[in-house]
């Protein structure tokens, strides 16, 4: 097979063209960017971020070291549950480095040709962000290996004895991957990330600070107790805290002349069925079914799903994770069981032996 080299003719914008502190230039072809409201609330610098302080400190060291050497930042993999800031980190890091970022989604990269436009458009020290990277097919994943290690891709033209391979040299860049299922990544791809960070849950105090900061951005008048109430009902997740804040703002605008007090926050969240632990109507229906119909368990998931007339996949993927994390249910070999905390929260008496 004949082999020849192809070199990029046009020199893309270099990182120095962007003044430090400016937001990164984002290019996205297949991935849909965040909506205007979410983008408005996103921090632009690491110092503006709330929570994840240990992750931020490590990233600052890596960024300062790479900048001091004049090299691209090492490839980074963020993993953790949804809504904890993986995409936010992917937009803040380029801003810290004064460079550009391209955004893609793993589900949209079905073949190597879908990845080519992103790789051929990278500029020196720029960032390529792939969200849900665990959904990248094996063929595309293998295509990333040489791009990440050698900053080179091989393009095969033709078939059989007439086929030839073109070696395309890439500008040194940083790949940032985000995944909610790190275990689904193959070991060769996972090991090519020099920096791996797991994002953990936020505390109520951190979410309270986040709500107060974002309320200012939305020009919402809110007091500390109200922000704390929203934080406690947000399942320790920033994305949910922002969603709750948007609803409370709308409620206060119509019912309380725009001012958010703790009473307004409680009334607005009660109206949409969010209780003091952050459970919604479906969460409580699950617990009520498990306790009232099955005596607190043990009960199989299929039995609960059929009783509720809900898909078992919905219960397993959407309802049970938070109930398990909140210690309201436990999984056993015989099935699901409600804990004493669940009986107390639902104000239902435990079964008598």
Catalytic residue IDs: 86-87, 131, 180, 239
Q: Give the separation between CA 216 and CA 1, rounded to whole angstroms.
A: 62
Q: Give the separation between CA 251 and CA 258, rounded to whole angstroms.
A: 8
User: How many Å is the maximal CA-CA distance in the chain?
Assistant: 79
Exposure letters 22-54 (e unless 16+ CB within 10 A, then b)? eebebbeeebeeeeeeeeebbbbebeebbbbee
Contact between 208 and 227 under an 8 Å Cβ cutoff? The reply is yes
Cα distances from 143 to residues 82, 146, 259, in angstroms, run: 27, 7, 54
Q: Give the separation between CA 64 and CA 130, rounded to whole angstroms.
A: 23
Cα distances from 229 to residues 167, 209, 280, in angstroms, run: 57, 12, 15
* Three-class secondary structure of residue 212 per DSSP: helix
């Amino acid at each position: 097979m004949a082999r020849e080299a192809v070199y990029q003719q046009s020199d893309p914008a270099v990182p120095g063209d962007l003044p430090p502190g400016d937001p990164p230039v984002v290019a996205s072809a297949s991935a849909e960017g965040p909506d205007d409201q979410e983008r408005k609330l996103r921090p632009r610098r690491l110092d503006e971020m709330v929570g994840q302080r240990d992750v931020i400190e490590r990233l600052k060291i890596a960024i300062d070291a790479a900048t001091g050497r004049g090299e691209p930042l090492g490839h980074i993999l963020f993993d953790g549950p949804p809504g904890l800031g993986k995409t936010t980190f992917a937009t803040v890091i380029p801003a810290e480095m004064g460079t550009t970022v391209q955004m893609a989604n793993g589900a949209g990269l079905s073949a190597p040709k879908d990845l080519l436009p992103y790789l051929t458009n990278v500029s020196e020290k720029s960032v390529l962000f792939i969200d849900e990277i665990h959904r990248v097919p094996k063929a595309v994943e293998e295509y990333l290996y040489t791009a990440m290690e050698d900053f080179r891709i091989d393009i095969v033209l033709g078939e059989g004895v007439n086929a030839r391979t073109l070696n395309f040299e890439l500008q040194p860049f940083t790949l940032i991957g985000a995944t909610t299922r790190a275990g689904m990544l193959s070991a060769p791809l996972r090991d090519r990330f020099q920096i791996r960070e797991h994002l953990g849950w936020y505390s109520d105090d951190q979410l309270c600070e986040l709500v107060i900061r974002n309320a200012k951005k939305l020009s919402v008048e809110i007091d500390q107790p109200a922000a704390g109430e929203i934080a406690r009902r947000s399942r320790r997740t920033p994305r949910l805290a922002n969603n709750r804040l948007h609803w409370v703002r709308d409620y206060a605008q119509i019912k309380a002349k725009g001012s958010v007090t703790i009473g307004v926050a409680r009334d607005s969240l009660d109206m949409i069925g969010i209780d003091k632990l952050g459970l919604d109507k479906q969460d409580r229906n699950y617990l009520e079914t498990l306790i009232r119909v099955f005596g607190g368990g043990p009960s199989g998931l299929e039995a609960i799903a059929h009783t509720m007339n809900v898909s078992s996949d919905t219960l397993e993927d959407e309802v049970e994770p938070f109930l398990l994390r909140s210690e309201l249910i436990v999984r056993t070999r015989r099935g699901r069981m409600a804990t004493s905390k669940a009986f107390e929260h639902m104000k239902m008496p435990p079964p008598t032996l």
